[in-house]
Amino acid sequence: MASKVYYMDDRAKAIQDSLVAKMLTVFEAAGLQNTISPGDTVAIKLHMGEYNNTAYLRPVYARALADKIKDLGGEPMVVDTTTLPYTPFASRTTALDYLNTAYRNGYTPATLGCPVIIGDGFLGADDVRVDLPEGFILKEQYVATAIAMADAMIALTHFKGHPMGVYGGAIKNIGVGCASKKGKYNLHMGGHPKYGLNARPFYPQLCKKSDCASMALCNTVCPENALHISDEGIIWQREKCTGCSACFGILVMCGVGFIPDDYFDSAAAAMADSAKAVMNTFKPGKVGFINMAIDMSPWCDCVSFSDRSFLPNLGVFASMDPVAIDVACLDMATNSYGVPGSIAEEKGVMEPGIRKLTSCGSVIGVDEMIQPNTGEKNGLGKKEYELITVPQPENVLPFLPSMKTVGIKLRPFYGIEHVMPEGGFKRKLDVDLEEVRGNGVGLHGKTHPSKAH
């Protein structure tokens, strides 16, 4: 039987059909309220954005979801985990780093109405080991304690591109985002003799030490002190490499170190294995998924910039199946036009019917179906889905800050002191608006509708 995925588009004409309202509408249509029992500790798992990233989900979505969870009797917490270094100056490598970044991005307890928890502790070592005999490539995984100990979870996911996973969806949100540092080393093939970065080709003779602006980074970027510059040139101690990716861009850009064959493919598969391990820490029916397919930058929220969206906003999806919801998003992306001037145009994938994420979300064109295929193979979920378009509810006025109308609010104040000046405003009685209308001619010489005869 196909998994059900519930969907609403991103169009809005009133408060009743805002994206915030639609998120909660599909939440209920998909039965996600049934994942939460009174008294449950509920993790809202999302990505709070890297420092200076601007495409991450706005905190208002998490706040509305936290309020909904409280209405259901649950105790919400917004949760994410520390990162591996990934880049030389990543700003989420410790809990303190991440909290400083999250608060800068608007994710504060005051904004969210609930605590912000870095689920794997200060350094990322607070985790629970999970056996995974069903895994395709991972046979164990390490899940952040705050996730493993929660009663229920709602994965609130920003669907977009991702340079390593090809796309960032529900699978990646829990597969990578719920793993501790140890778990991230595991799923990124740290120390793997075939797929790990420690197995990469390395050509020290190509180092241009005398003419290299990033030479200082080679001496300071590696947490294991495996990389440095000496009088003889660049030295990399392969046996010390744990695959944290801090030096990834430096060595690749310099042409000294390369990527092992199938590194990205194996990591994408491992993301789905890791997601399965995360799901195994919950009782059946206690995890729900919401994908917000908006502001779809080709690279993830984990990088410190955001490129132009390569797809128009698609809408909001909800399901109990992380594989099905991701495939539904991927299929809709495939059937969409690309955005002019974006990477979709650069890659020549503007037309419907072309897989967009394979071309736009990956640095080397890794197949976007690796995550869902692995997820189906290890029992995480099903690729076959039924897409159910949810109608807009009638006669609903949700999310009003107060049911008190502005008349009732303002009449007492205006009775004391009105904001209108007693003598009125100084304005001209009549003006010739033809002087500022631009003669009715707009862009490309087209006549303004009001001036047409």
Domain residue spans in the chain?
3-189+262-389, 199-254, 406-451
Residue 123 CB neighbour total at 10 angstroms: 13
Task: Evaluate whether 3-189+262-389 and 199-254 have a shared fold.
Answer: no
Which residues lie below 8 Å from residue 136, measured CB to CB, with a gap of 6+? 269, 272, 273, 374, 377, 378
Residue 71: is its pLDDT beyond 90?
yes
> From CA 200, how far away is CA 249, in angstroms rounded?
13
Other C-beta atoms closer than 10 Å to the C-beta of 388 total: 15
335-393: pLDDT as tens digits: 999 999 999 999 999 999 999 999 998 777 799 999 999 999 999 999 999 999 999 88
Considering the domain 3-189+262-389 in this protein, what is its CATH number? 3.40.50.11440
**pLDDT at residue 64 in the model:** 96
pLDDT at 440 over 80: no
Confidence at 103, pLDDT banded by 50, 70, 90: very high
Which of 171, 125, 146, 407 is closest to 275 using CA atoms?
A: 171
Which structure tokens are listed for 251? 């060595």
* Closest by CA position to 372, among listed 361, 362, 364, 384: 384
For residue 315, report the phi and psi dihedrals to the nearest 5 degrees.
135, -155
pTM score of the predicted model: 0.93
* Paired tokens of 169: 């969806």
Query: Would you say residue 451 has pLDDT above 80?
Result: no
For residue 398, what pLDDT band results from cuts at 50, 70 and 90?
low
Measured over all CA atoms, what is the biggest interatomic distance in the chain, rounded to whole angstroms? 84
- What CATH architecture does domain 199-254 belong to? 2-Layer Sandwich (3.30)
Helix, strand or coil, per DSSP, at residue 319: strand
Beta bridge mates, 42:
76, 152
